Chain A
Amino acid sequence: MLRQLGMITAVWVPLCLAAYAFGSSYGPLYYSFMAALLLGLLLGLWLIAPLRDYWASLSGRSRAVITILTLATLFGQLVADSGRSFPFPRWDMYTISEAPERAVVHQVIGTTASGREFRVRPGLYIPSLGRSRYRSGIETLSERLRAEPEGAAEARLDLERMLKLLARAYNGRHESDPLTSIGVRRLEIEYRDPETAGHRRAESVYAVRIGGTGP
């Protein structure tokens, strides 16, 4: 078994070097720590006797398939930019402590012909852009616009395009009471101090009239 553990380590070192060369945001020391942790996980898995026995019972081709997929998954875990290593990203959901002063949320607010104001849920009308895909675009453009209110002409146009896209999708389903305006609201919510928790400050980042232009 020692020989096999040695072989795993021998494969692991060049893989780590390749992943580091491919791109890592960690410094060399921390990267080495992470690489050692993952090697520990791999060796730990190897110590599970039924997994080891199963591996021994497999054909060479099956072993090759499992090795490729496992190493690709681990390679992605070592690369900083999941966009580069896609479809083998880093599995790092909620792995960094983050507790800013206020929670910042961007919401899409629509107003219909009858005067009803409500939050539009993009995933409901453009499912392909659900799962925060639409929201992330709106958030990026809104922050660009806030950072440079006068100069970000392109961000303004793009934001308008995104909002109109959603408005069209909504109005396609609600012809009796269509949206007449749609915009982005930026919310800052107090949450840390129990005394002030829930206090919020809303700011309209951008709004567009449907059929017209401008805030």
Chain B
Amino acid sequence: MPETSGTLYAALALSYAWLLGYEFSLWWRRRRKG
């Protein structure tokens, strides 16, 4: 099995950045609507 922690961190960063981005979009939509 090759060293695959790079894959783990890539999946971790992309997945949780996506969730944080969605959280930000919710906050932004609410802010825009006042």
* Chains A and B are bound partners: no
Chain A residues within 8 Å of B, Cβ to Cβ: none
